[in-house]
Chains A and B, each alone.
Chain A
């Protein structure tokens, strides 16, 4: 998978692309940790438009991003998730802990 980022007016958008599983998750998290440190954004959008597959490793990653953002007084939320990642998000119930914009 790939993680691209864009930044505007205090809002960092993480564009996740490809398949997010255990094999890909640790490299993705390292990259995201670096970008968050660089920008220290107020808001962080996890944009899943390009994400074609995600399993519970993605759930852990979303929760981790949310935690990192809360630590620095910011917020994170999920946008543009396709059907399969959305079904995993629904089944895990994390939409009670993080906003999921559909």
Chain B
């Protein structure tokens, strides 16, 4: 698919970067003229994926997290969050609502929220190589809604 615009960034897996990542994603998506609700959905999905990289991929270190956003033909926004952490042994199971390895501080709803706020969600993962979360959403402009 042809891309019309993109950004790429990398930051260490430190929780202080969660707010930065979702704000940066929203600022990039703003050029597609989305509604406030859709902008909120994008911020939320990015926050979930980035938090997972910070909490689960690198439990005791601050390894690299990459975020890439692309605007594709047909007003599709694609978001990829990639880490080089421990990976997910069973992706299908990890994506079930309420499944968590994170204990009381986590609710196990991250993937469920990503899936419900975006049009598509794909998770590829392999042990030691890390995890890539790819999400897409067609952005209707404010004028279209």
Contacts and interface: CB of A to CB of B under 8 A. Distances in A.
Interface stretch (A37-45, A69-77, A80-88): A80-88
A35 interface: no
A88 B112 contact: no
Give the dominant DSSP class at A's interface: helix
Interface string B32-72: 00001100110110011001001100000000000000000
A9 to B, nearest CB: 31
A23 B117 CA distance: 21
B55 A92 contact: no
Given A64-B104, A84-B44, A87-B41, A55 B113 contact: yes
Contacts, number: 72
Give the dominant DSSP class at B's interface: helix
B79 to A, nearest CB: 15
Interface residues of A, number: 23
Contacts of A55: 44, 47-48, 51, 110, 113
A42 B43 CA distance: 35
B37 A87 contact: yes
B19 A91 contact: no
Given A59-B107, A63-B107, A91-B116, A22 B19 contact: no
B40 A23 contact: no
Interface in A53-102: 53, 55-57, 59-60, 63-64, 83-84, 87-88, 91-94
Interface residues of B, number: 27
Given A55-B113, A87-B41, A21 B51 contact: yes
Contacts of A23: 15-16, 18-19
A46 to B, nearest CB: 15
17 contacts: A21-B15, A21-B18, A21-B47, A22-B18, A29-B105, A53-B40, A55-B48, A55-B51, A56-B51, A57-B106, A84-B43, A84-B44, A87-B40, A88-B113, A91-B116, A91-B117, A92-B112
Interface of B: 15-16, 18-19, 22, 36-37, 40-41, 43-44, 47-48, 51, 54-55, 97, 104-107, 109-110, 112-113, 116-117
Interface of A: 19, 21-23, 25-26, 29, 53, 55-57, 59-60, 63-64, 83-84, 87-88, 91-94
